[in-house]
Structure 1
Amino acid sequence: MTPKDQEKIDQALARAIYSSGTPLSINENAYWQEAFTLLRPSYHLPSRHSLSKPLLESEYERIMQYVQGKINKALCLAVLTDGWTNVQGEGIIKFVVIPPQTVFYRSIETGENRHTAEYISSKICEVLQKIGSGKVFALLTDNESNMKAAWEIIIDKYPHITAIGCASHGLNLLLNDIMKLDTPQKIYRRAKEVTKHVKATHVVAAVFKKKHEAKNVKNKIVTQTLE
């Protein structure tokens, strides 16, 4: 095992771990260690520190170079952004660029800053300036009032950019309004009662599962026949 081979396998293994969301402690598992020893006895698994620091930083740099290369080659771009909270409840703003292949560009931890139109527009401007505002022809966000207010600030600064609301978010808002009506609410409550009864009664659940599987088999046969 040459140092170059070791480095190449380390990078491939780290990439597989990161992309699959596998815990970094996997290399400390005795069965994984045995499997790798059988596959390549001369290969030494990287430590958790290597996976969490140098290998991760190296992979990040590689991905960012790839993303920047896509942006540099593009003649025009669209930028997608939205505000979220992560699993720790921390506020973040994500940015996705379409040149035209969709690539994740960056996320910003907003910390104590509120997601006001002024704050959001300032962060959007930072991204536009970094990727080249002249290339951007469209900005896509959700339809919240703070985002729409940010549109005005962005368009005033960059008149060539068109701001667009997310169609799926608009549809979601429309369905929320529909579900506030009496008839859909009655249907929804009845469906919940039926679902709850099926899940709470093992005999009914078993019958339902059997019927469902039989229906899937029948549909599959019909589909194959039509093909």
Structure 2
Amino acid sequence: MVEGIAEYGRGFKPPSMHELRTWILKAEVDGINLIYEEHKGMEKYGCTIMSDGWTDGKNRSSINFLVNSPANTFFLKSIDASTSTKNGELIFKYLDVVVDEVGEENVIQIVTDNASNCIKVGEKIIETRHRIWWTPYAAHCIDLMLEDIAKLKIFSDTIEHAKMVVKFLYGHGTILSLMRKYTNGKEIVRLAVTRFATLFLTLQSMYKVKRSLEQMFASEDWVSSPLSQTTQGKIVKKIVVNDPNFWSHVAFCVKSVVALIHTKKRNILEHAKLNALVFVKYNFKLRERSIRRRDKIDPIVVDEINSDDEWITEKEGPVLLVTTKWQKMMNYLKVILL
């Protein structure tokens, strides 16, 4: 955009705020809708509908819907659910409408998070839409795993001690400045999508600057600070320098769970115009990524797959070696069971 303004040269008159909020935004939305029409290659390949709910610090809720296919990913719409209770019936109703908009014949699966109300929605979708599968959102499953892991004693104790250290370091300007001096500007707190991911990523950051923190609490800068004589300061120093188990436990926690953590950015939509802005920006970004990857795509055409259901089973049996020994045993078991 800046390059375009520079090429225009002197005399460029930017659009007014009113123009940006009205006809220009509408024109961009119309342009994205045209791209969506091109995206309808999902009729050939099939697609996945992804539902992602989010609640901000003010307890405002939104549910975003995206359509993914081998050809592209498209942000479809967002629904403000702040005034509604996000129970299974409501989410099912929203998803049902989205499936009709996209076309049931084009949808292969629906992906939601793993909350109890969404599990019920998944079961109901499978009952009412017999050709559509429901799949839980992997990142949410990982977050639930992290929540349970954080309750284990070695993890909970280590996290509590780390919280005390971080709260002390970031709660006092002079100490925070001192920490940054010894860590060469590196921060400890690493924000992630969820509280539990943030906890473990912060532990990882702490461990990376372990030596720097130990040097700081052993330095003259720390000794000369009035905060070094406070009760909280002495406790924090004891944790960082004198606790024989703290750092080994931090290392254990980091090695155990950090590989599970994936971060992502979320869009929180507050009103109709912001919804339209995200609609445009999100889909432009997805389109740019799709163009970059287009040469690498080798999609599987749904029509080329046999419609037999023999390969779909509710529960997989054990994989046995193909030998006459196993075959005789299986025949023997069949005789007994019959």
In the superposition, the TM-score normalised over structure 2's length comes to 0.49
Residue ranges of structure 1 left out of the alignment (5+ in a row): 1-11, 17-35, 217-227
Q: What is the deviation of 1:198?
A: 3.9
Candidates 156, 180, 201, aligned match of 2:127: 156
Distance (Å, rounded) in 2 between the aligned partners of 1:151 and 1:38:
52
Distance (Å, rounded) in 1 between the aligned partners of 2:185 and 2:41:
55
The yes-or-no answer on 1:90 pairing with 2:47 is no
> Which stretch of structure 1 is more off in the superposition, 181-190 or 82-91?
82-91
In the superposition, the TM-score normalised over structure 1's length comes to 0.70
The within-5 A match list for 1:6-45 is: 40-45=9-14
CA contact (8 A) 1:198 1:205 kept: yes
Change in Cα spacing, 1:176 to 1:86, as seen in structure 2 (3 Å) is closer
Give the share of equivalent positions with the same residue, in percent: 26
Candidates 1, 26, 29, aligned match of 1:57: 26
CA contact (8 A) 1:37 1:43 kept: no
Distance (Å, rounded) in 2 between the aligned partners of 1:123 and 1:203:
49
Q: 1:166-205 CA deviation, whole Å, 9 max, x = no partner? A: 1111111011011112211111122223333444325741
Distance (Å, rounded) in 2 between the aligned partners of 1:48 and 1:56:
11
Partner of 1:183: 154
Q: 1:60-79 CA deviation, whole Å, 9 max, x = no partner? A: 11112212321345421011
Partner of 1:138: 109
Q: 1:5-27 CA deviation, whole Å, 9 max, x = no partner? A: xxxxxxx68xx9xxxxxxxxxxx
Distance (Å, rounded) in 2 between the aligned partners of 1:211 and 1:65:
47
SS of the aligned residue for 1:138 comes to: strand
Change in Cα spacing, 1:132 to 1:184, as seen in structure 2 (3 Å) is same
> Which stretch of structure 1 is more off in the superposition, 137-146 or 70-79?
70-79
Distance (Å, rounded) in 1 between the aligned partners of 2:57 and 2:35:
28
Partner of 2:17: 48
SS of the aligned residue for 1:143 comes to: coil
Partner of 1:28: none
The number of residue pairs the alignment matches comes to 183
Partner of 2:98: 127
SS of the aligned residue for 1:103 comes to: strand
Please give the root-mean-square deviation of Cα atoms over the aligned residues, in Å: 2.9
Amino acid at match of 1:135: N
The within-5 A match list for 1:59-78 is: 59-74=28-43, 75-78=45-48
Comparing both chains, which one has the higher relative contact order based on Cα–Cα distances under 8 Å and sequence gaps of 6 or more?
2
Q: What is the deviation of 1:115?
A: 1.2
Partner of 1:210: 184
Q: 1:97-124 CA deviation, whole Å, 9 max, x = no partner? A: 1012222111112353211111111110
Partner of 2:167: 196
CA contact (8 A) 1:71 1:99 kept: no
